[in-house]
Amino acid sequence: MTVLGNAKLRSAADLKHMQEELRARHTPSAKCVRVCTGPGCAAKGSPRLYELFCEAVERTGADVEIEAKSVGCHGLCECGPIVLIQPGNIFYQKVEEPDVAEIFRETILGDRVVEKLLYENPATGQKAVTPEEITFYKVQKRIALAGNGLIDPTNIGDYIAEGGYIALAKVLSSMTPEEVISEVEAAGLRGRGGGGFPTARKWRSCREADGSPKYVICNGDEGDPGAFMDRAIMEGNPHAVIEGMIIGAYAIGSEQGYIYVRNEYPLSVERLKLAIEQARELGVLGEKILGSSFSFDIRINRGGGAFVCGESTALMASLEGRPGEPRAKYIHTVESGLHGRPTNLNNVETWANVPAIVNHGGEWFSSIGTEKSKGTKVFCLVGKVVNTGLVEVPMGITLRRIVEEIGGGIAGGKRFKAVQTGGPSGGCIPAEHLDARVDFDELTKLGSMMGSGGMIVMDEDTCMVRVAKYFTNFLQKESCGKCTPCREGLSQMLYILERVTKGEGEVGDVEELEGLADLLGGTALCALGKTAANPIVSTIRYFRDEYDAHIKEKRCPAKECRGLFRYEIDSEACTACGICLKNCPADAITGEKKVPHVINQEKCTLCGMCWEKCPFTAVLKV
């Protein structure tokens, strides 16, 4: 849908006028179907649902005002595909193709709620009609994700109708660059990419640095396993990022910006491209923005898939067309970054917070959160929780509330063991620290970090040594290989962990790992290497007993490491059905009818087939 005439906006007043006109078009009774086409829902077939709704809208004719929208990630990916209906803000979950006709007939045309598609609280069995009634959403506070699930990311008019680009208009018409920086400073905004560096300080250093041109970069090279925060924003609300960047560029004094997106996010690239084109057409990006003397343009660069390119200096090297390898940061990038010029790099989520800060004021933003960590943080809640998905919480919330209230606790009635925050360079936080608050400094104190917002929940069946091995393996594969400690040290650590998980560990291995971790932390070139040992250090710190069990007793307490446990059949639970016997590829199981089966340990190859197949859970890991 095109918005208004293609006339360029020449002033802030033009923009306000456009916004009013767009809002006036929608009567409160206007009907709207919002279909989430974020990655989670899309994987479950939501784009097809959207098409079906569009077809249904077309068939209805012009007498009823209905609009179908494809919107960005709504958050509760576990229950996707998600469909929201206006008016009433009715929340339907797990919608399938046959439900479309029913929703259309009952809810849209008949104003009745389709009970079976409502979210049901698993504990109380109570149905929720709107998202506000669902604990998952109730505990959240959305700033960066405010537009997600609400606006059509392919339509700039939608963004403007919801108050988009008003912050930019305010900045250009009534604020000096220094005032913008002060506002961000008052907000206490810190970098959401992992480091948590004060954004305003970075902007000011870049503004004051000698040299021109100055560059502004948006880091969208999200690569942590299980993380999709930035992707959700880029795909669900690309204009928020663009608006943030324009405001930042104005504050810093830059005329050229880059968005570095990983190529594995084709939809992000597409949405950002479209958003940039629309913004240019409307005159909020490009030459003389909104009739002011300020010009700024953005280019998109696609990353080639290296995890290390999320590191600022590697990213800049990649932008320059060189291999994505980090360099020493003794001279900061705000002084000498891209092409040796002052460069300000911020993460997607950081940029997306900027318009809200300008609109509502720094004081409002800093009223949320803890003393040193202000505002909200987006997390990708994944792993063994009931409700996996995208969440945005105020800083200072306890990990327990995220896991238990938003996440709905551990799936399958298992016991919580640890939560891994901060991506591969983060650490595992055990149950005894679940009441820790989400705060840059507090998480660091616990040996983990905020990181960009991955949050992986693990239950009692997770072997922490294997977790450490998994992340070390990931980082070893993603190490660029430039500096010795990272390239050689990670390989050495991985070698030790592989031995330990195979039952070949020796006394002293833990100390060896700790020594290497120290070396890496002190001598590696970039942040990837310096923090690479965090998963190992934090698991040793909190789960030393598991390492000892592997090394000294050759036993894996979580029974995940093959070879460090064995399968046995519980003779009381065994009904002698013969399923395990038939499925055993090694002919290691013997038994007859009505006689409990037995596993011949000498023949058993520990493939786990019997354990998987037994319908009576009579096969046990011991």
Partner 1 sequence: MRKGKPVPTVTIDGCKVEVENGETILDAAKKAGVWIPTLCYHPAVSSDASCRICMVELDRGDWRQLVTACNYPVRRDIVVYVSSEGAQQARRGVMELLLARAPESQELKALAERMGVKETHYPKVTESQRNCILCGLCVQVCEEIIGQAAIGYAGRGVDRTVAAPFRQPSEDCIGCGACAAICPVGTIKVRIHEDEQEVEISPFKSRAKLLICEECGAPIISMQVSEQALGKVEVNCEEFRERVRLCPKCRRSQTAGRLKAAKFCKKES
Q: Which residue has the tokens 């945005």?
A: 392
Token pair, residue 258, equals 């880059």
Nearer to partner 1, 5 or 522 (CB): 522
Q: Select the span of 455-463, 512-520, 556-564, 607-615 touching partner 1 (CB under 8 A).
A: 512-520
Is residue 331 close enough to count as binding partner 1 by CB under 8 A?
Answer: yes
Burial 153-191 (b: 16+ CB within 10 A, else e): bbbbbbbbbbebbbbbbbbbeebebeebbbbbbbbbbbb
- Residue 370, CA distances (Å) to 380, 438, 443, 506, 608 in order: 21, 9, 13, 44, 47
The residue from 87, 323, 340, 563 that contacts partner 1 (CB under 8 A) is: 323
Q: At what angle do helices 166-174 and 12-25 cross, to 10 degrees?
A: 160
Q: Is there binding between residue 413 and partner 1 (CB under 8 A)?
A: no
Shortest reach from residue 235's CB to partner 1, in Å: 28
Least Cβ distance, residue 556 to partner 1 (angstroms):
23
* Contact residues for 512 (Cβ-Cβ < 8 A; gap 6+): 496
Minimum gap (Å) between residue 325 Cβ and partner 1: 9
From the CB of 409, what's the least distance to partner 1, in Å?
38
Q: Give the shortest CB-447-to-partner 1 separation in angstroms.
A: 18
Q: For partner 1, which residue of 405, 459, 478, 546 counts as binding (CB under 8 A)?
A: 478
Residue 165 tokens, joined: 């680009």
Q: Smallest distance, Å, CB 424 to partner 1?
A: 14
Strand partners, 68: 33
Contact status: 571 vs partner 1 (CB under 8 A):
no
Site for partner 1 in 356-385 (CB under 8 A): none
Structure tokens belonging to residue 390 = 């995208």
Query: Judged by CB under 8 A, does residue 485 bind partner 1?
Result: yes
479 near partner 1, rule: CB under 8 A: yes
Q: List helix spans (H) across 371-526.
A: 399-400, 440-445, 464-478, 484, 490-501, 509-523
Q: How far is the CB of 314 from partner 1 (least distance, A)?
A: 12
Nearer of residues 292 and 523 to partner 1, judged by Cβ: 523
**Distance from C-alpha of 480 to C-alpha of 477, rounded to nearest angstrom:** 8
Count of residues interacting with partner 1 (CB under 8 A): 30
Q: Tell which one of 212, 263, 295, 484 touches partner 1 (CB under 8 A).
A: 484
Question: What does residue 514 show for φ and ψ, rounded to 5 degrees?
Answer: -65, -40
Question: Closest CB to partner 1 among 52 and 490?
Answer: 490
Q: How far is the CB of 326 from partner 1 (least distance, A)?
A: 10
Among 450, 483, 537, 619, binds partner 1 (CB under 8 A): 483
Using the minimum distance from each CB to partner 1, give the nearer residue, 152 or 311. 311
Nearer to partner 1, 304 or 578 (CB): 304
Distance CA 597, CA 4 (A): 75
Judge contact between 558 and 463, C-beta under 8 A.
Answer: yes
Q: Note the residue count of the chain.
A: 622
Pick the piece of the chain touching partner 1 (CB under 8 A) from 15-23, 77-85, 214-222, 485-493. 485-493
Q: 311, 337 in Cβ contact below 8 A?
A: no
Prior bond of 430 cis (ω within 30°): no
**122 part of the interface to partner 1, by CB under 8 A:** no
The verdict on whether omega for the bond into residue 238 sits within 30 degrees of 0, i.e. cis, is no
Least Cα distance to 226 among 411, 421, 443 occurs for: 421
Tell the smallest beta-carbon distance from residue 74 to partner 1 (Å): 37
Q: Which value, in Å, is the radius of gyration of the alpha carbons in the chain?
A: 27
Q: Kindly state the helix (H) or strand (E) to which residue 383 belongs, with its residue range.
A: strand 376-383
CA distance 493 to 506: 14
Under the binding rule (CB under 8 A), the answer on residue 210 touching partner 1 is: yes
**Using rule CB under 8 A, residue 130 touches partner 1:** no
> Residue 253 or 489: which CB sits closer to partner 1?
489
Q: Which stretch binds partner 1 (CB under 8 A): 152-160, 174-182, 274-282, 517-525?
A: 517-525
CA-based end-to-end distance of the chain:
62
Helix then strand count (H, E) for the chain reads 25, 19
Task: Quote the CA–CA distance of 194 and 142 in Å, as a whole number.
Answer: 19
Query: In the window 50-79, what residues touch partner 1 (CB under 8 A)?
Result: none
Interaction of residue 507 with partner 1, rule CB under 8 A: no
Nearest to 259 by CA among 230, 283, 287: 230
549 vs 556: CA distance, rounded Å: 6
Does residue 523 interact with partner 1 by CB under 8 A? yes
Q: Find residue 32's DSSP bridge partners.
A: 67, 86
| Member of 16, 141, 487, 621 binding partner 1 (CB under 8 A) | 487
Single out the residue of 125, 321, 412, 522 in contact with partner 1 (rule: CB under 8 A).
Answer: 522
Q: Which stretch binds partner 1 (CB under 8 A): 2-10, 349-357, 406-414, 489-497?
A: 489-497
Nearer to partner 1, 141 or 327 (CB): 327
Q: Which is nearer to partner 1, 140 or 313 (CB)?
A: 313
**Residue from 366, 370, 492, 583 binding partner 1 (CB under 8 A):** 492
Q: Tell me which of 42, 306, 317, 455 binds partner 1, using CB under 8 A.
A: 306
Tell me which residue has tokens 């954004």. Answer: 199
515 lies in the site for partner 1, by CB under 8 A:
yes
Q: Does 528 participate in binding partner 1 (rule CB under 8 A)?
A: no
Q: Could you tell me the smallest distance in angstroms from the CB atom of residue 255 to partner 1?
A: 23
CB of 265 to partner 1, least distance (A): 21
Contacting residue, 26, 105, 288, 477, with partner 1 by CB under 8 A: 477
**Residue 233: how many CA atoms within 13 Å on its side-chain side?**
35
* Residue 3 or 516 with smaller CB distance to partner 1: 516
Can residue 445 be called a binding residue for partner 1 (CB under 8 A)?
no
Reported in sequence order, the residue ranges of 304-412 that DSSP labels E, i.e. its strands, are: 343-347, 376-383, 389-394
Distance, in Å, from the CA atom of 115 to the CA atom of 91, rounded to the nearest integer, reads 11
Query: What is the C-alpha separation between 514 and 511, in angstroms, rounded?
Result: 5
Contact residues: partner 1, CB under 8 A: 210, 306, 323, 327-328, 330-331, 476-485, 487-489, 491-492, 495, 515-516, 519, 522-525
